[in-house]
């Protein structure tokens, strides 16, 4: 049985391992052009996957995206695991990869975790093994190669803490 996005300009089946929650928006199946059909991808309710988003997901990889998220054109390169919480905004041209090879050395993939209520600014790069805490903000163009504590703003290359965010409660 084929599964397709209604009125899609790129008429291709969605990967068999893809589960999409209720009331989600998926711009096109083209987002999954470089995804293994057996990759496990779960998208929560009320999440939007917009034009330009690219899932480059290996056959053994697991991707979980929470509810009420917005992905506006990131590249998600996953060979092992990526977990994105709820209420997360990922802006244009962000790259998230769990398997980069710095210095030309081959390294195994390391999982990436993004907590709830996180904003990741345009053209940021999130590298393998990073955990971004809930409530954090990643400034545009940041290179994140170390964990980001909850309720902090990071920016720069490499990303450093700019300031802490006061609790709203």
1.20.120.1200, 3.40.225.10, 2.160.10.10, 3.40.50.620: CATH of 18-164:
2.160.10.10
> What does the alpha-carbon distance between residue 115 and residue 62 come to, in Å, rounded to a whole number?
16
**Residue 107 pLDDT class (50, 70, 90 cuts):** confident
Give me 74's structure tokens: 């990131």
How many CA within 13 A on the CB side of residue 87?
8
| pLDDT tens, residue by residue, 46-98 | 999 999 999 999 999 999 999 999 999 999 999 999 999 999 999 999 999 99
**Residue 2 pLDDT class (50, 70, 90 cuts):** low
Tell me: pLDDT of 39 over 80.
yes
Angle (CA) 22 129 57, round 5°: 45
End-to-end CA distance of the chain: 49
Instruction: Tell me the domain boundaries of the chain.
Output: 18-164
Span 96-108, mean pLDDT? 74
Beta strand pairing call for 112-114 and 81-84: parallel
* pLDDT averaged over every residue in the chain: 93
> What does the alpha-carbon distance between residue 150 and residue 76 come to, in Å, rounded to a whole number?
22
Span 117-141, mean pLDDT? 97
Span 15-26, mean pLDDT? 96
> What does the alpha-carbon distance between residue 56 and residue 36 come to, in Å, rounded to a whole number?
8
CB–CB of 35/59 below 8 Å?
no
One-letter-per-residue 3-state SS of 51-83: CCCEEEECCCCEEEECCCCEECCCEEEECCEEE
State what percent of residues in the chain have pLDDT above 90: 85
């Amino acid at each position: 049985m084929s599964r397709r996005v209604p009125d899609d300009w790129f008429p291709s089946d969605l990967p068999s391992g893809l589960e999409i929650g209720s009331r989600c928006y998926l711009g096109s199946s083209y987002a999954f052009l470089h995804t293994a059909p057996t990759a496990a991808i779960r998208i929560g309710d009320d999440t939007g996957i917009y034009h330009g988003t690219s899932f480059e997901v290996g056959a053994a990889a697991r991707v979980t995206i929470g509810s009420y998220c917005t992905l506006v054109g990131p590249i998600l390169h996953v060979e092992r695991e990526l977990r994105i919480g709820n209420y997360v905004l990922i802006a244009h041209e962000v790259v998230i990869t769990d398997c980069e090879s710095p210095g030309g050395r081959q390294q195994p993939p390391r999982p990436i975790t993004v907590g709830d209520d996180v904003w990741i600014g345009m053209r940021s790069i999130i590298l393998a093994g990073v955990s971004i805490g809930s409530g954090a903000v990643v400034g545009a163009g940041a290179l994140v190669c170390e964990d980001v504590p909850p309720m902090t703003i990071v920016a720069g290359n490499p990303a450093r803490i700019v300031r802490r965010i006061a609790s709203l409660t």
